[in-house]
A and B are shown apart, each in its own frame.
Chain A
């Protein structure tokens, strides 16, 4: 199930809220665990069992690591290694087996059977969460969770289950057993959720519609191709950050506090800065659990670059089992290394907007690589941006129309990607509390109404009677 669906919004979620708040505090984790399994099972009926297996395995390993971590480090480490291996094997099998087979076959010519299993939704997210748990326990950053239900709640918690943010165990362990619920926090959650819903349904989907039409057409124009990739750039940001906002908002309603996952990435002044602002929970995960353990920047420049290479190859692969994601990761490895070695000091001396423009250009081309699972198509699209590829002309009436009729949307997208709306809201809130509350209430309700309208419309399919 996804938050931006009618069955979630109007059936599942009201029922969950009801069950959750009529249940005494002590039993609320059990409710969350159960409804989270329903949430997952709705889209992945069979994989619920895989998920339960993951929860159980990591629960047991967590207990074992916790038991020996202070008395027998070697033994604790062995259990940790086993836990990591099991989690990565499951992830590897479901996500990377077929890709590995195709690479292996193309290198050696030996045919290995591919498997026909769909990818369990959210497996990359919840596997990373589970891993953060055993590692945090091993590192003494958190205590092993003795309560199976509380641990199950952590791994399966539906707000962040299928699209993040990746919540590290140590950020949330205390909240699993003691969290406070209040009307003020719930109301704040409603505001955050509504804002996320608006980003996803109103902005991301509108931008995505334009990108889909342009990238799906056999032929485009230079202007059309640019409009398309710019729209995709906005789509992926508002889609993903909107989903994170919805998760954070839902968390607040249930008494949890998740960390922010995006921080206005399109205002970044360098690619390094961009990656501190984009999908923060993932970059943090890789920094904490891969980059720093590998030695980070403490073992000299050469080693640091190797570490970066490892992290970015993995980051690319994490996004999908396909060459374009690997290349996308390496693309950022190159840019980040270049910045570390030469570019950052130069950018710092230049006016800020230069860095911002350079960053956005780098990011836009990055998204083209990201979206081009078929690399040949990606190359054709890249060509179209510069007048080659499948660009039939520089500009056509249809492309000009697309640009003109998107100007309003584009203005909204640009403003919404900056920190200004939130800062204005904060200032208003400081000075005129009542006005801020009324304004956000109206905004939240409007987002709900419009969001519903767009969701219903997406299934709207009038038959013209000449096309039965």
Chain B
């Protein structure tokens, strides 16, 4: 039978390669086999890491080899996952991948946009509005059963606030659509909505540093202006910026979005604390577990780690209280996500705070009202928390 064209073409190419070229061939073989073997050996002999700071998670341990696990195939699957986690120079490979995507003109990597001036934003085209509806209805039920004045303050995601984070062609269409839904659903649930996206977006457009470039949170300045909106809605005024002494807590903050994007070339953010004269007078207590008190509003040990935003209130906890001993003040129950951590120092100047995170708090949130004598309820989250899960589903429990 006649040899097909494809085989002839392959044979021609092979023939030229088979001409004497010994030295170069041997170099290629050594590089190829060496690359595979050296990394394989390094994987075996290097000690395993327990935790990845970049990814903020525990890495997998070597699975136990049992006859059962081997036969049902779970051992080999677990081993593959373990090998990926413990692969030598894991973070370096991640960055090479990100750089290659950028070089191909992809304008983003791992679901994160490469914006202007080193701004990174998580891309979310169509978030889950069912979760949003569940959360808002639950918040409304909680509010009406509690009988307390309340408001829902929603901060934007980076893609809502920093226009420069988005490629021009992508535009703000998706973000606008979500906010339209938030407004409609808050309205139909009967919640008073404090829109923190619009004012912060305006400030960002004016060049203010209100959101981090490499993290999904607002900056301390952003939290300050957000709090200003909330306090105004409650009929109070935020203290002027001049009252605060701005301390650069870290000039080397690489946030979560930066980790996801794998963009090693993007410069860090600056993380500030806004100090005020009497902030030592406040008693900040982490009420879950051992129940420790913080020095002021901060846990500075996090500034030495990658996860620097957790310096605010010591990161995620189920329940944190802030009081000003010796002063009788109104108590604000804040049902929140981590955006509230940077806002807490500003809110605390007006109210005693009970900050509860429904994702971690396993008891009845409603009981906190009586326990701490709450006078007012503030829901304070960013839009992502409202859509990511039906986290507030549990709120009305025990109120009917």
Q: Do A and B come from one complex?
A: yes
Chain A positions near chain B (C-beta within 8 angstroms): 1, 5-7, 9-11, 13-15, 17-18, 42-46, 182-188, 190-191, 194, 202, 206, 217-219, 259-260, 262-263, 276-277, 280, 396-398, 400-401, 404-409, 412, 419, 422, 425-426, 429-430, 433-434, 436-438, 440-441, 444-445, 448-450, 452-468
Please determine whether A186 and B104 come into contact, CB atoms closer than 8 angstroms. Answer: no
Q: Would you call B12 an interface residue if the criterion is a C-beta within 8 Å of the partner chain's C-beta atoms?
A: yes
Considering the complex, which residues of chain B in the window 76-131 have a beta carbon less than 8 Å from any beta carbon of chain A? Answer: 76, 79-81, 83-85, 87, 90, 93-94, 96-98, 100, 104-108, 110, 125-126
Separation in Å of the B60 CB from the closest CB of chain A?
Answer: 9
Separation in Å of the A411 CB from the closest CB of chain B?
Answer: 9
Please determine whether B126 and A217 come into contact, CB atoms closer than 8 angstroms. Answer: yes
Please determine whether B94 and A456 come into contact, CB atoms closer than 8 angstroms. Answer: yes
**Partner pick for B174 among A15, A397, A434, A459, CB 8 A cutoff:** A397
Q: Would you call B57 an interface residue if the criterion is a C-beta within 8 Å of the partner chain's C-beta atoms?
A: yes
Q: Looking across the interface, which residue of chain A has its beta carbon closest to that of B20?
A: A184
Of B184-192, B232-240, B256-264, which stretch is located at the interface? B256-264
A15 CA to B171 CA, complexed, in Å? 51
A450 CA to B98 CA, complexed, in Å? 10
What residues on A are CB-neighbors of B26 within 8 Å? Answer: 183, 187
**Partner pick for A14 among B40, B57, B104, B384, CB 8 A cutoff:** B40
Separation in Å of the B103 CB from the closest CB of chain A?
Answer: 9
Please determine whether A425 and B315 come into contact, CB atoms closer than 8 angstroms. Answer: no
Instruction: Give me 19 A-to-B residue pairs in the complex whose CB atoms sit less than 8 angstroms apart, sorted by A's number.
Output: A11-B43, A184-B22, A187-B29, A188-B18, A206-B104, A219-B126, A262-B6, A398-B170, A401-B167, A407-B105, A430-B16, A445-B32, A445-B35, A450-B100, A454-B97, A454-B100, A457-B97, A465-B309, A465-B316
Q: Looking across the interface, which residue of chain B has its beta carbon closest to that of A454?
A: B97
User: Given A441-B24, A466-B384, list of 13 further CB < 8 A pairs?
Assistant: A6-B87, A10-B83, A14-B37, A187-B26, A190-B29, A401-B167, A408-B106, A412-B104, A452-B93, A457-B262, A463-B55, A465-B315, A465-B338
Q: Would you call B397 an interface residue if the criterion is a C-beta within 8 Å of the partner chain's C-beta atoms?
A: no
What residues on B are CB-neighbors of A459 within 8 Å? Answer: 81, 84-85
Q: Would you call B45 an interface residue if the criterion is a C-beta within 8 Å of the partner chain's C-beta atoms?
A: no
With A404-B107, A453-B100: A463-B57 Cβ-Cβ less than 8 Å: yes
Q: How many residues of B contact A (CB 8 A)?
A: 84
**Partner pick for B55 among A183, A191, A260, A460, CB 8 A cutoff:** A460
Q: Looking across the interface, which residue of chain B has its beta carbon closest to that of A185?
A: B18
5 closest A-B pairs by CB: A459-B84, A408-B105, A263-B6, A187-B25, A401-B170
**Partner pick for A466 among B83, B174, B338, CB 8 A cutoff:** B338
Please determine whether B94 and A457 come into contact, CB atoms closer than 8 angstroms. Answer: yes
Please determine whether B110 and A460 come into contact, CB atoms closer than 8 angstroms. Answer: yes
With A11-B43, A277-B6: A453-B97 Cβ-Cβ less than 8 Å: yes
Separation in Å of the A459 CB from the closest CB of chain B?
Answer: 3
Chain B positions near chain A (C-beta within 8 angstroms): 4-7, 9-10, 12-14, 16-19, 21-22, 24-29, 31-33, 35-37, 39-40, 43, 54-57, 70-73, 76, 79-81, 83-85, 87, 90, 93-94, 96-98, 100, 104-108, 110, 125-126, 167, 169-174, 216, 256, 259-260, 262, 307, 309-310, 315-316, 337-338, 359, 384-385, 388
Please determine whether B108 and A405 come into contact, CB atoms closer than 8 angstroms. Answer: yes
Please determine whether B32 and A426 come into contact, CB atoms closer than 8 angstroms. Answer: no
A468 CA to B384 CA, complexed, in Å? 14
Please determine whether B21 and A184 come into contact, CB atoms closer than 8 angstroms. Answer: yes
Please determine whether B24 and A437 come into contact, CB atoms closer than 8 angstroms. Answer: yes
A397 CA to B172 CA, complexed, in Å? 8
With A426-B13, A445-B35, A453-B94: A400-B28 Cβ-Cβ less than 8 Å: no
A39 CA to B26 CA, complexed, in Å? 27
Separation in Å of the A242 CB from the closest CB of chain B?
Answer: 15
Separation in Å of the B120 CB from the closest CB of chain A?
Answer: 12
What residues on A are CB-neighbors of B169 within 8 Å? Answer: 397, 400-401, 404
Please determine whether B80 and A5 come into contact, CB atoms closer than 8 angstroms. Answer: yes
A400 CA to B315 CA, complexed, in Å? 38
Please determine whether A398 and B31 come into contact, CB atoms closer than 8 angstroms. Answer: no
With A426-B13, A444-B28, A453-B96: A9-B90 Cβ-Cβ less than 8 Å: no
Please determine whether B13 and A429 come into contact, CB atoms closer than 8 angstroms. Answer: yes
Please determine whether B56 and A462 come into contact, CB atoms closer than 8 angstroms. Answer: yes
Separation in Å of the B107 CB from the closest CB of chain A?
Answer: 4
What residues on B are CB-neighbors of A456 within 8 Å? Answer: 84, 87, 90, 93-94, 97
Please determine whether B107 and A401 come into contact, CB atoms closer than 8 angstroms. Answer: yes
**Partner pick for A398 among B39, B54, B174, B216, CB 8 A cutoff:** B174
Q: Looking across the interface, which residue of chain A has its beta carbon closest to that of B315?
A: A465
Please determine whether A405 and B6 come into contact, CB atoms closer than 8 angstroms. Answer: no
A276 CA to B7 CA, complexed, in Å? 12
Q: Looking across the interface, which residue of chain B has its beta carbon closest to that of A445?
A: B31
Please determine whether B40 and A11 come into contact, CB atoms closer than 8 angstroms. Answer: yes
What residues on A are CB-neighbors of B94 within 8 Å? Answer: 453, 456-457, 460
With A184-B17, A190-B29, A462-B57: A448-B35 Cβ-Cβ less than 8 Å: yes
What residues on A are CB-neighbors of B29 within 8 Å? Answer: 183, 186-187, 190
Separation in Å of the B355 CB from the closest CB of chain A?
Answer: 14
**Partner pick for B96 among A43, A219, A438, A450, CB 8 A cutoff:** A450
What residues on A are CB-neighbors of B385 within 8 Å? Answer: 466
Please determine whether B173 and A398 come into contact, CB atoms closer than 8 angstroms. Answer: yes
With A45-B70, A280-B4: A397-B170 Cβ-Cβ less than 8 Å: yes
A280 CA to B24 CA, complexed, in Å? 33
Please determine whether A397 and B173 come into contact, CB atoms closer than 8 angstroms. Answer: yes
**Partner pick for A7 among B55, B83, B262, B384, CB 8 A cutoff:** B83
A225 CA to B277 CA, complexed, in Å? 59
Please determine whether A433 and B21 come into contact, CB atoms closer than 8 angstroms. Answer: yes
**Partner pick for B80 among A6, A190, A218, A219, CB 8 A cutoff:** A6
A280 CA to B96 CA, complexed, in Å? 36
With A263-B6, A422-B13, A465-B56: A405-B24 Cβ-Cβ less than 8 Å: no
Q: Looking across the interface, which residue of chain A has its beta carbon closest to that of B316?
A: A465
With A187-B28, A405-B108: A466-B337 Cβ-Cβ less than 8 Å: yes
Q: Looking across the interface, which residue of chain A has its beta carbon closest to that of B256?
A: A464
What residues on A are CB-neighbors of B100 within 8 Å? Answer: 202, 450, 453-454
Q: Looking across the interface, which residue of chain A has its beta carbon closest to that of B42?
A: A10
Please determine whether B167 and A405 come into contact, CB atoms closer than 8 angstroms. Answer: yes
A208 CA to B35 CA, complexed, in Å? 27
What residues on B are CB-neighbors of A434 within 8 Å? Answer: 21, 24
Please determine whether A263 and B5 come into contact, CB atoms closer than 8 angstroms. Answer: yes
A194 CA to B104 CA, complexed, in Å? 19
A437 CA to B105 CA, complexed, in Å? 29
Q: Looking across the interface, which residue of chain B has its beta carbon closest to that of A405?
A: B107
**Partner pick for A437 among B13, B21, B33, B172, CB 8 A cutoff:** B21
A449 CA to B253 CA, complexed, in Å? 29
Please determine whether B73 and A13 come into contact, CB atoms closer than 8 angstroms. Answer: no
What residues on B are CB-neighbors of A468 within 8 Å? Answer: 316, 359
Separation in Å of the A185 CB from the closest CB of chain B?
Answer: 7
Q: Looking across the interface, which residue of chain A has its beta carbon closest to that of B92?
A: A453
Please determine whether B25 and A184 come into contact, CB atoms closer than 8 angstroms. Answer: yes
Separation in Å of the A347 CB from the closest CB of chain B?
Answer: 19
What residues on B are CB-neighbors of A42 within 8 Å? Answer: 76
Q: Looking across the interface, which residue of chain B has its beta carbon closest to that of A202?
A: B100
Separation in Å of the A223 CB from the closest CB of chain B?
Answer: 12
**Partner pick for A43 among B13, B19, B25, B76, CB 8 A cutoff:** B76
What residues on A are CB-neighbors of B104 within 8 Å? Answer: 206, 408-409, 412
What residues on B are CB-neighbors of A217 within 8 Å? Answer: 125-126
Q: Looking across the interface, which residue of chain A has its beta carbon closest to that of B32?
A: A190
